Copies of this chain bind each other. A is one copy, B any other.
């Protein structure tokens, strides 16, 4: 509490992840100001005791630590370098959470440094539920002094903070390796479940057997229940993976390094988005395949 009382924290982006993090910080006694393009989210944040801000500059005003929890590099650039960074206290620490290409992150870190600020490349693993309970994983990189200053904030939002190197971009690279695997595993889970349906198997039994076998993955276990329940309300959307596997594709092309499995999974997400399901849950890849092949998957309950 002594430490939390000394640090002023800004949060830009009060979507499901940012809102959960901001709530965890408020419960720990931090002074938190936050903003979002969605006025409802800002109002709910105010109801929890947060200081709702009209825009990123207001949210960042006087902040010692500024957490940026937006979708991608373009949004990060827009919200940070349109005045918000300059509004922070001198030597303040930017904690940037969007999944981005390492090169983009390095550019932002250099801009922050030129403004006399510190930058932690801090992509996250774990969904909204873990954000709300302060149990995220941070795949962080940046100067040790920045980690030291932001430590009380990071420890409040995350169960595990990896310090993966001194340089911005390293955290992003670890995260993109995770996203390569996660995206491929979701596409594979959807392909396997619809393939099982095409063979006429009992899908609930397939889930039971596979989760106890060597074909299991974190994503299979997490996403296949959405298919079994016919529930495609977005916990994480198809378009997240058209973005993240798109970053994998860009990096691979730049390095001249082939990623054929990830490239194929990317096409599956693009096909699903093309069929109008880009904002639906990423398990919708199964609906896309079932639709193509005229298969029936379980419908919504009730």
- Contact surface of A with B, Cβ cutoff 8 Å: 102, 125-126, 137, 139, 160, 162, 164, 170, 173-174, 177-182, 184-185, 187-189, 191-192, 194-196, 198-201, 205-206, 209-210, 212-220, 222, 248, 251-252, 255-265, 267-268, 289, 292-293
Bound complex: CA A109 to CA B31 (Å): 71
A213 near B137: Cβ-Cβ < 8 Å: yes
B218 near A222: Cβ-Cβ < 8 Å: no
Residues of B with C-beta under 8 A to A102: 199
A209 near B264: Cβ-Cβ < 8 Å: no
A188 near B258: Cβ-Cβ < 8 Å: no
CB contact under 8 A between A257 and B180, given known A102-B199, A164-B205, A188-B262: no
CB contact under 8 A between A220 and B268, given known A164-B205, A164-B209, A214-B125: no
Bound complex: CA A96 to CA B177 (Å): 39
B181 near A217: Cβ-Cβ < 8 Å: yes
A137 near B179: Cβ-Cβ < 8 Å: no
User: Out of B164, B184, B194, which one reaches A188, CB within 8 Å?
Assistant: B184
Interface CB pairs A-B, < 8 A, 7 = A125-B213, A139-B209, A181-B188, A182-B215, A214-B219, A260-B268, A261-B268
Bound complex: CA A248 to CA B198 (Å): 12
Bound complex: CA A177 to CA B163 (Å): 38
B289 near A258: Cβ-Cβ < 8 Å: yes
The 3 closest A-B pairs by CB, nearest first: A181-B215, A217-B217, A178-B215
